[in-house]
Structure 1
């Protein structure tokens, strides 16, 4: 964990070279290092120069018991040849993780900023192909671009809301999340204990920002907000917005989205941010745009299949 500050500095330098500003905070890096399932003794590598400065950070993190492994290699701009030395270690560890879980093949996912042409070329060299794209959406609650975000939508008939401070609500929310995301890109089902542990391990988690919507007494939709974007952008973050298939088309998603906007505005946040898969099984992108959100960044997920 004492390496978190050096890793963050390296990532910030890379992000600034690509995006013009850092896109991760020190808290984000620390949260990644304590991610359940990530073994700091086996799953990550630091590459230092002769003077002890950090030039590279690479990792492979398995996703539960599935065949999916998230990977990344980050190298200080201007350092030549290091990525080529780190990738074999990452791929070897990913294969080991797949073998340990009994898989004959694994699927690797690599996140790449759309603006990072150098990383795109590197992904191609390593045999990755584009899988899907996530758009970072934002709406402002203050300033010239602010819309009527503090105004909630009219609630659907029969709607009641409960927040996530109690375990019974969290368990019901977990079931809604698992059922609603079954067909989404990269989704891996997990049990409640793992689901809870992952969120509890994150410094951004605020269980009061989990809202479970009941329609006529039945759990129907879910909103999970957190504080991930508060330290650097003073924005709320919609981590999860899910509506069960049987309850779609009744305005629940739009209502919960407006509910999140109003809550963030009441907290004094400058805006609200979320990420949406452009290949989502539901027309989520159109919903967010119609609610006044705008795309501020694109992040592509590249994928590669490997035999174990």
Structure 2
């Protein structure tokens, strides 16, 4: 089939959102991509859309979308790729362009190779045999979890003596939440350090309701954990990040933060809360979420290729 391929721009956000929701419908049974999420991706300060994005059209319809970006300052490069099932050829055209650009970006950083990661649903619209032939393989699995919430059952938990739970009320608290995010996620697979300003962009700070971002502290240790939630997804309330410092992980603070978030979303009229977790996480997070009633909504694999 003949395809027209060109870079994306911000005006393409509605068409990209429509494509991603068509993919969602096939992969997870319902559309869950919001326009503002796509717009934020296209506005990423470390992306030059003229070189780092690709749209493939067939007879005027958008059928594939690709994006690459780099946050490591070295060899690690990230990619997004979406394609409709009947247009695998377009998907492969985008892969060739994405791989070439990823290697160029890594070499611009002085790296000899590019290590590229791509997240795909475990049953994607992409024919994964085609990228296996290109040298891609699965290196990690993530679960998107969800849980129903109800205002009659999910009430704000009692905070134990010696523990304080506060919302991010000012700039100092926001910077503290960033520091806790960086410290608690530093051990995680594929972690990339981010400055405060970069983190603000990553979380879409212009849309964040900071009353849904909490810091937990103890009398003995001070601030030891955080939870960042957001209520701007149509599909469900979302926990964007939760972490407790290693030295405070046996105090039940992760569960306290989680129950507090459930209660807050239930009080706002939400009926479902979701989050993502690395199945290889060694901090005990998967078990924590299971104990609090969260179940698998769908699974995502991290695919990797090494170019150079």
Instruction: Output the TM-score relative to the length of structure 2.
Output: 0.90
The secondary structure found in structure 2 opposite 1:3 is: helix
- Aligned-partner Cα distance in 1 for 2:133–2:24: 21
Confirm whether residue 290 of structure 1 aligns to residue 298 of structure 2. no
Question: Residue 86 of structure 1 corresponds to which residue in structure 2?
Answer: 94
Q: Is contact 2:239-2:275 (8 Å) kept? A: yes
Structure 1 residue 55: deviation in Å?
Answer: 2.3
Task: Note the alpha carbon deviations across 1:81-102, whole angstroms, 9 max, x for none.
Answer: 2122211110111111111222
> Residues 80 and 182 of structure 1: is their aligned pair in 2 closer, same or farther, counting only changes over 3 Å?
closer
Question: Residue 77 of structure 1 corresponds to which residue in structure 2?
Answer: 85
- Aligned-partner Cα distance in 2 for 1:77–1:192: 39
Structure 1 residue 201: deviation in Å?
Answer: 5.3
- Aligned-partner Cα distance in 2 for 1:105–1:147: 54
State which drifts further: 110-119 or 212-221. Answer: 110-119
Gaps of 5+ in 2: 1-9
Structure 1 residue 17: deviation in Å?
Answer: 2.7
Q: Is contact 2:149-2:271 (8 Å) kept? A: yes
- Aligned-partner Cα distance in 2 for 1:155–1:36: 39
Question: Residue 5 of structure 2 corresponds to which residue in structure 1?
Answer: none
Question: Residue 48 of structure 2 corresponds to which residue in structure 1?
Answer: 39
- Aligned-partner Cα distance in 2 for 1:286–1:269: 24
Query: Of the candidates 208, 219, 232, which is equivalent to residue 211 of structure 2?
Result: 208
State which drifts further: 90-99 or 114-123. Answer: 114-123
The count of residues paired between Structure 1 and Structure 2 equals 298
Confirm whether residue 130 of structure 1 aligns to residue 138 of structure 2. yes
The secondary structure found in structure 1 opposite 2:142 is: strand
The secondary structure found in structure 2 opposite 1:115 is: coil
Q: Is contact 2:85-2:125 (8 Å) kept? A: no
Structure 1 residue 112: deviation in Å?
Answer: 1.1
Structure 1 residue 185: deviation in Å?
Answer: 1.0
Q: Is contact 1:163-1:210 (8 Å) kept? A: yes
Q: Is contact 1:43-1:59 (8 Å) kept? A: yes
Question: Residue 243 of structure 2 corresponds to which residue in structure 1?
Answer: 242
The secondary structure found in structure 2 opposite 1:78 is: helix
Structure 1 residue 164: deviation in Å?
Answer: 2.0
> Residues 141 and 104 of structure 1: is their aligned pair in 2 closer, same or farther, counting only changes over 3 Å?
same
Instruction: Output the TM-score relative to the length of structure 1.
Output: 0.90
Question: Residue 27 of structure 2 corresponds to which residue in structure 1?
Answer: 18
> Residues 78 and 202 of structure 1: is their aligned pair in 2 closer, same or farther, counting only changes over 3 Å?
farther
Root-mean-square deviation (CA, aligned residues, Å) is 2.0
Structure 1 residue 64: deviation in Å?
Answer: 4.3
Gaps of 5+ in 1: none
Q: Is contact 1:162-1:169 (8 Å) kept? A: no
Query: Of the candidates 172, 179, 182, which is equivalent to residue 175 of structure 1?
Result: 179
State which drifts further: 114-123 or 67-76. Answer: 114-123
- Aligned-partner Cα distance in 2 for 1:237–1:246: 26
The secondary structure found in structure 2 opposite 1:98 is: helix
Confirm whether residue 99 of structure 1 aligns to residue 107 of structure 2. yes
- Aligned-partner Cα distance in 2 for 1:227–1:202: 13
